[in-house]
């Protein structure tokens, strides 16, 4: 199978494996539930393979996964490309010293945290998150990592 057609069939398989739930978590929202993708071994493998193909030659040092689904997709990508994995979590979930970044939601504010020293200045960072609604969490992660003076080396992965 040619590379182009193989990619098309993988994307179609991934798309078919993601359950769509109307009006969740509130009316008017069309929620794409990736937990059903995890039940389909081949579709899950295809999704990781596509991510790895996209980033394997970009000299990524760190894959930073945003809670919670960034924890599902980030570690296999990190292992496959030879990078370390750094979790970015909700407040008070990480032991030890952390740095934090607050961000605005539609209905208030939230915060994410990362261990101090988990990412070193100059490391190339790939951020993995499952979706972008308002972009607040991703922007906070970029600022959090940017506080480490890594912003010029930041690569974004939007799944």
CB-count exposure of residue 64 (10 Å: 0-12, 13-18, 19+): buried
pLDDT in tens, 58-94: 999 999 999 988 999 999 999 999 999 999 999 999 9
Q: Write down the pLDDT at residue 107.
A: 72
**Which pLDDT band holds residue 153 (cuts at 50, 70, 90)?**
very low
Higher pLDDT, 151 or 26: 26
Share of the chain above pLDDT 70, in %: 85
Q: Write down the pLDDT at residue 135.
A: 74
State which H helix or E strand residue 158 sits in: strand 154-158
Catalytic residue among 69, 89, 101, 113: 69
Catalytic residue among 7, 19, 97, 106: 106
**Which pLDDT band holds residue 30 (cuts at 50, 70, 90)?**
confident
Instruction: Please provide the DSSP assignment of 67-134 as one string.
Output: TTTHHHHHHHHHHHHT-EEEEEBSTT-S-S-EEEEEEEETTEEEEEEEETTSS-TT--EEEEES--SS
Active site residue 106: yes
State which H helix or E strand residue 66 sits in: strand 62-66
Least confident stretch, 6-10, 133-137, 147-151: 147-151
pLDDT in tens, 101-118: 998 877 788 999 999 999
pLDDT in tens, 11-24: 999 999 999 999 98
Three-class SS state of 57: coil
Active site residue 7: no
How far the first Cα of the chain sits from its last, in Å, is 25
Q: Write down the pLDDT at residue 132.
A: 62
pLDDT of 54 higher than 60 = yes
């Amino acid at each position: 199978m040619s590379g182009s057609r193989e990619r098309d069939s993988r994307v179609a398989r991934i798309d078919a494996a993601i359950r769509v739930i109307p009006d969740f978590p509130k009316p008017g929202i069309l929620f794409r539930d990736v937990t059903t993708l995890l039940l389909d071994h081949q579709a899950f493998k295809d999704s990781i393979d596509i991510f790895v193909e996209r980033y394997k030659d970009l000299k990524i040092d760190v894959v930073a996964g945003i809670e919670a689904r960034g924890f599902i997709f980030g570690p296999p990508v990190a292992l496959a490309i030879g990078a370390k994995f750094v979790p970015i979590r909700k407040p008070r979930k990480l032991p030890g010293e952390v740095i934090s970044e607050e961000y605005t939601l539609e209905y208030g504010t939230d915060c994410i945290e990362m261990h101090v020293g988990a990412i070193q200045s100059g490391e190339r960072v790939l951020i993995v998150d499952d979706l972008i609604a308002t972009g607040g969490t991703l922007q906070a992660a970029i600022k959090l990592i940017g506080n480490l003076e890594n912003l010029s080396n930041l690569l974004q992965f939007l799944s």
